Amino acid sequence: MQLGRLIVLTGPSGVGKGTLLRSLLQRHPELYFSVSATTRAPRGGEIYGRHYYFTSREQFQEMIKNGELLEWAEFAGNCYGTPRKAVEAQIAQGQSVILEIELEGARQIKQTFPAALRIFILPPSEAELERRIRSRGTDSEEAIARRLRRAKEEIAAANEFDIQIVNDDLEKTLDRLEAAVFSIS
Ligand code: ADP
Ligand code: 5GP
């Protein structure tokens, strides 16, 4: 059987990755979204097992020690990682898998899965990125400042990726993302 494809979606916090992914998965329920583990506290409306596996620092350290994570990184004071087992099982069954992860994790995937398709989502401008983070209304001022600092570092690395897509108009961006994922143009 043909192996599934690993697709990595990266870009600064607040650029719209989650929004794009939700719509892409609605259009393509055959794609498998890898639910990450994180030590971050849930935001309002986030569901265990659907958005993240919310874990303690101790549990997260155990997962690292036991080799259960395909990649992991620290982001804005919290740990995030991709559980290995589900991803490998889906790919072995011919199912394509999407990871929505930050820059360091995406770099690790390039080492472990060189064939992965890595896509970077860019904001139309830094001002618009800040507006989107604020409009989400879920982060403290301190968290917003940290995310904006980190965003500049991430954006500077966009050229490391196979494809860059600017998330200006949502519907148009979704079409571009879909074309990239299915390599049609
Ligand atoms: P991320 O997952 O990258 O952190 P989100 O998907 O949470 O980002 O989006 C951050 C905010 O930006 C949300 O309020 C979302 O509705 C908004 N947003 C996403 N894409 C667009 C877009 N193309 N135009 C305007 N607002 C957008
Ligand atoms: P948020 O706290 O906004 O949900 O996520 C913060 C950042 O962590 C985002 O850039 C998101 O893509 C990233 N992230 C989510 N899950 C993972 C993961 O499993 N591994 C890595 N490396 N980053 C992740």
pLDDT tens-digit profile of 73-112? 999 889 999 999 999 999 999 999 999 999 999 999 999 9
Rounded to whole angstroms, how far apart are CA atoms 105 and 10?
9
Checking if the pLDDT of 170 tops 90, the result is: yes
Residue 78 burial (CB < 10 Å; 0-12/13-18/19+)?
middle
Neighbours of 14 (CB within 10 A): 22
Residue 114 burial (CB < 10 Å; 0-12/13-18/19+)?
exposed
**What does the pLDDT read at residue 184?**
45
Neighbours of 184 (CB within 10 A): 7
Which residue type occupies 109?
A: I
Six token digits for residue 20: 């794009």
**What does the pLDDT read at residue 140?**
86
Q: What is the mean pLDDT of the chain?
A: 94
Q: Give pTM, 2 decimals.
A: 0.93
Cα of 16 to ligand 1 centre, how many Å? 3
Ligand 2 within 6 A of 36 CB?
A: yes
Residue numbers in the known binding site are 11-18
Task: With a threshold of 0.90, tell me whether the complex ipTM lies above it.
Answer: yes
**What does the pLDDT read at residue 92?**
95
Nearest-5° angle of CA 144, CA 42, CA 138?
Answer: 30
Which residue minimizes the CA distance to atom 18 of ligand 2?
Answer: 81
Spatial strand order in the sheet of 97-100: 32-33, 97-100, 6-10, 117-122, 163-166
Which residue minimizes the CA distance to atom 22 of ligand 2?
Answer: 105
Cα of 18 to ligand 1 centre, how many Å? 7
**What does the pLDDT read at residue 183?**
78
Checking if the pLDDT of 118 tops 90, the result is: yes
Cα of 169 to ligand 2 centre, how many Å? 23
Ligand 1 atom index nearest CA of 19? 6
Cα of 71 to ligand 2 centre, how many Å? 11
**Quick one: DSSP state of residue 11?**
-
- Give the β-pairing of 78-83 and 36-38: antiparallel
**Quick one: DSSP state of residue 25?**
H
Rounded to whole angstroms, how far apart are CA atoms 93 and 74?
30
